[in-house]
Structure 1
Amino acid sequence: MTKPAITLPLLFTLLTFIDVSTGSSNVFNVVSFGAKPDGVTDSTSAFLKAWQGACGSAASATVVVPSGTFLVKVITFGGPCKSRLKFQVTGTVVAPTDYRAFGNSGYWILFNKVTKFSLEGGTFDARASGFWSCRKSGQNCPPGVRSISFNSANDVIISGVKSMNSQITHMTLNGCTNVVVRNIKLLAPGNSPNTDGFGVQFSTGVTLTGSTVQTGDDCVAIGPGTRDFLISKLACGPGHGVSIGSLAKVFNEAGVENVTVSSSVFTGTQNGVRIKSWARPSNGFVRNVFFQNLIMKNVENPIIIDQNYCPSKQGCPTEHSGVKISQVTYKNIQGTSATEQAMKLECSKTSPCTRITLQDIKLTYNKGTPATSFCSNALGTNLGVIQPTSCLSR
């Protein structure tokens, strides 16, 4: 049987090794550099000056954003810095209400190449309602920006952060290692378009725990190159659940492995736990994935693998996914499905899913009739009671 990707001793070691929350000798308050807590004055330059002072400090330092509301435009906090650095937010950071002010930057707040760093507390409000309206109207809109991004960051703790009303993804990790994210809230209306919660790709050793994600797209989106990712105690919904993929966007694509999702609750989501790939040739893979101790409450697709993803019906209707999915375990998953088909394992004709394990599954259709399952090209093993009846091939 597949084992959890990250053990508790390893998690403890991770937390101990990268904890940078101890006291700093140097404090750089953004107000001292000209920031105004009125929510109107542009404080971007003041934030950068505070950051530059802290980043250049030979001793560990803290950037402080005190109580109040601070307007900040597109900003990059660049590293590496000379010592440990904490970014401590008590107040609220807001984006411009004019969504076109971001241009094609792709991000609002970017932490680039930081090491031994912590982001603690605060509310970040991207105020994206105007952007959502543009997207829904079919106008020619900008591509949108991620609210809080980390690129090439190492040994990081993100704790107690609240992100609201992102244009697209609330928080992303790209090319990062050893990151612990705990007790965060990512919030946007359920009908906000493409507002993913937490996105990760090309990153290793990431833990997301004790967090709430309510949004209009994936609660957690797991992209190519993700390894050793642990999600626990997640409250997801509304949203589209936890999704590995979409994969196979390109042929040469890094694989996903050692992912664990445990002790989490999904409420009113479109999906529970999903693995999704385009119906295209690919040398990618998904392996050693462990979904355990999950509760589904009125979820449309509690358990789903979709390797025939082709929403535009262009370039893929006659193809089959090359992504190889193997060693995926679903254990102790219970609750209610909003659709009759509670379990759908639709795998590739040319690359069947192998070594799938179903153990102690109890999913019921909330209309009072028995739930059903559907499998295609899915091979594996059943353990314990499986409800709805398993359709796995041996």
Structure 2
Amino acid sequence: MHFSGTDTPGTSPNTDGIHIQSSQHVSIANAVIGTGDDCISIGDYTSNIYVSSVTCGPGHGVSIGSLGRRGNFVQVENIHVSNVQFKHTTNGARIKTWQVGKGYVRRITFEYLKFDSVKNPIIIDQNYCSIRGACKEMPTGVHISNVAYVGLSGTSSTDVAINLNCSRSVACTRIVLESIELMSANMDRQVTSSCLNAHGNAIGVVRPDPCLQS
């Protein structure tokens, strides 16, 4: 599938540019998307999805999820996102799962992404719940594994450029950060990383300092 693009005001809620659900072997290429929600959202029961040469902004970025809202068994794998430019978006490369979910998100690649003043360039939120900021710890969770971030650069509009918020019960594993250089959009500030229960390796990360656990 090839899409020329969508153009919706950044203030318009629930206006995903493209949503993919219960689908396999889908390609999105050469698109310019501006919206009030996710530029591209990838839902459950999806595999072999390819996104390339996309410009996103305004919008909430390219999101896998949210997944597992009703406690269902999530099955998402083989997602490849490359050569995407994010311009003044809320998120860049995002994975979001509900605490009550089960199943897996695996074999995900985000590569050669460029960020221009993005609030959350790299973010995983595995602790999503109905009461934001007041989630009780639960023994369930969607296992996120084999996620690679390769060749990412640009600027963050917040101090935390890499935010990997994973579950204590079902931690994120085999995360790879490779060839990453993110700076602050504010000249007088420095960006940082925040990791919780995120395991993996970092290779050639210039900034911010990676915080993955081995």
Would you call these one fold, judging by a TM-score over 0.5?
Answer: yes
**2: CA distance between counterparts of 1:190 and 1:228?**
29
Out of 2, 5, 20, which is 1:200 matched to?
Answer: 20
**1: CA distance between counterparts of 2:96 and 2:193?**
17
- In the alignment, which residue of structure 2 is the partner of 1:373? 193
Contact 1:322 1:348 in 2 (8 A): yes
**2: CA distance between counterparts of 1:271 and 1:332?**
17
Superposition pairs for residues 256-275 of structure 1, below 5 Å? 256-275=76-95
**1: CA distance between counterparts of 2:177 and 2:207?**
10
Out of 238, 261, 265, which is 2:58 matched to?
Answer: 238
Out of 281, 288, 292, which is 2:107 matched to?
Answer: 288
After TM superposition, the structure 1 stretch with the greater mean CA deviation from structure 2, 253-262 or 209-218, is 253-262
Superposition pairs for residues 15-30 of structure 1, below 5 Å? none
Superposition pairs for residues 66-81 of structure 1, below 5 Å? none
**2:176 corresponds to which letter in structure 1?**
T
- In the alignment, which residue of structure 1 is the partner of 2:96? 276
* More contact order relative to length (CA 8 Å, sep ≥ 6): 2
**1: CA distance between counterparts of 2:119 and 2:133?**
26
**2: CA distance between counterparts of 1:311 and 1:270?**
20
- In the alignment, which residue of structure 1 is the partner of 2:39? 219
Contact 1:224 1:253 in 2 (8 A): no
Out of 1, 9, 19, which is 1:189 matched to?
Answer: 9
SS in 1 for 2:161: strand
**1:240 corresponds to which letter in structure 2?**
H
Query: Gaps (5+ residues) in structure 2?
Result: none
**1: CA distance between counterparts of 2:66 and 2:107?**
18
Report how many residues are paired.
Answer: 213
- Structure number with higher strand proportion: 2
TM-score by length of 2: 0.95
**2: CA distance between counterparts of 1:313 and 1:302?**
20
In structure 2, relative to structure 1, the CA distance for the partners of 1:321 and 1:186 (3 Å cut) is farther
- Structure number with higher helix proportion: 1
Q: Deviations over 1:367-388 (max 9, x none)?
A: 1222100000000011113310
Cα deviation for residue 261 of structure 1 reads 0.5
SS in 2 for 1:357: strand
Q: Deviations over 1:41-98 (max 9, x none)?
A: xxxxxxxxxxxxxxxxxxxxxxxxxxxxxxxxxxxxxxxxxxxxxxxxxxxxxxxxxx
Superposition pairs for residues 1-394 of structure 1, below 5 Å? 181-280=1-100, 282-312=101-131, 317-319=136-138, 321-368=140-187, 369-394=189-214
Report % sequence identity: 45
Contact 2:13 2:36 in 1 (8 A): yes
**1: CA distance between counterparts of 2:170 and 2:91?**
23
**2: CA distance between counterparts of 1:385 and 1:318?**
31
Tell me how large the CA RMSD over aligned residues is.
Answer: 1.6
Q: Deviations over 1:138-197 (max 9, x none)?
A: xxxxxxxxxxxxxxxxxxxxxxxxxxxxxxxxxxxxxxxxxxx22421111000011111
In structure 2, relative to structure 1, the CA distance for the partners of 1:315 and 1:247 (3 Å cut) is farther
Q: Deviations over 1:295-319 (max 9, x none)?
A: 0000000000001112435995342
Query: Gaps (5+ residues) in structure 1?
Result: 1-180
Cα deviation for residue 254 of structure 1 reads 3.4
TM-score by length of 1: 0.52
Runs of 4+ in 1 over 6 A off after TM superposition: none
**1:360 corresponds to which letter in structure 2?**
S
**1:237 corresponds to which letter in structure 2?**
G
**1:246 corresponds to which letter in structure 2?**
S
**1:377 corresponds to which letter in structure 2?**
N
